[in-house]
Amino acid sequence: MKGIILAGGHGSRLQPLTSVFSKQLLPVFDKPMIFYPLSVLMLAGIREILLIGTERDLPLYQALLGDGSDFGISIEYIIQEAPEGIGQAFILGEHFIGNSSVSLILGDNIFYGHQFSEILSKQVQGLQGATIFTTIVDSPNNFGVVEMDENGAVLSLEEKPVIAKSKNIATGLYFYQNSVVDIAKGIRPSARGELEITDINIEYLKQKKLVAQQLGRGFAWLDTGTQESLLQASNFIETIQHRQGLMVACLEEIAFTNKWINEKKLVEISQKYKNSPYGSYLINLLQSP
C-alpha cells in the first residue's frame, strides 16, 4: 500500500495564521502539524508517500521533510493547482499509485489511541474494497455522516446533512484498493464544485465493499481546521506527552522502532535538534531498555 497526504487548500478559516504558508506547517504543540498525519501512514507500515500541496507551500514541505530518507521512507511531491475536492487526490496521484492499493489522510487530522498501529495493519492486510475510519462527535452535521446497523455495517453515507441520521462520522483517513482511481474519475463534482470523498465511498457501499472501522472511546480524533481546534490539539498533545514522557508523532522514533533507520542515523538526526527537547528525546531513545 502507498500513502497520500492531502495538504493543499488555503486554510481560509485560520487566516491570518495561514496568510503566508500552509496550515499543515503550523505548530501543534512541539511539532509541525504535518508530522501527525505522516506518522499515521508510517504506523500503518506505509513507506511510499505522496504529499499534495500548493505551489507556494511545496518548497517548505520539501525543506522540512526532504525525500523521507531521515525516516526510512520515500516522499514525493505534487502540486494541487486548485482545491477541487478530496477525491481529486486520486486523480493527481494516479501515476504515483500505479497498481497499488492506497491510503489517503488529510493533512490536518490527528489520531491518538492505544494499539492504533495494530488496528491500521489489520485493515491494510484485510482490505477488500474500501475502509473508512469512523468516530462519534457531538455535532455531526459538519462532517460526512455514517449510518450503521447494530453490527457495524454501513447503511448510508451523507455529506454534511441538515439532519444527521447518526453521530458517527467519517474521519479524514481512508484505505482503498486500486479501483479507487477509476471510481474517482467517474464521479461528478458536487454542487460546490468538488469531487467529494463521500461520493467515492457511496460507490463502494453500492458494491458492498465498504467497511467502517469504528474508533472507540479510547481514541482521540482531532480536526485542526479552526483556531479553537488548533489550540485544543496543542493542549491535548502537551498533556499526553507531559504525563507519559512519550512523544506523539515522533517520526524518527517510529522509523527507529520499525528498524527503518539505525542508531547511527538517529544520532545524526538528533544533532539537528540538539538544542531542543526533541533532540534530547531522540538521544534518550538509544538509552531506553
**pLDDT tens readout for residues 68-101:** 999 999 999 999 998 889 999 999 999 999 999 9
Give tens-digit pLDDT for 161-193: 999 999 999 999 999 999 999 999 999 998 888
Mean pLDDT value across the chain: 94
pLDDT score at 82:
87
Cα angle: 176, vertex 181, 184; to 5 degrees: 100
Domains and CATH numbers, the chain: 2-128+170-258 (3.90.550.10), 262-289 (no CATH)
131-156 pLDDT per residue, tens: 999 999 999 998 999 999 998 999 99
Instruction: Give the side-chain half-sphere CA count within 13 A for 109.
Output: 20
pLDDT of 289 strictly over 70: no
What is the spatial distance between Cα 183 and Cα 257, in angstroms, rounded to a whole number? 36
- Are the C-beta atoms of residues 91 and 6 closer than 8 Å to each other? no
pLDDT level of residue 127 (50, 70, 90 thresholds): very high
β-pairing verdict for 74-79 and 48-53: parallel
Residue with cell 444527521: 164
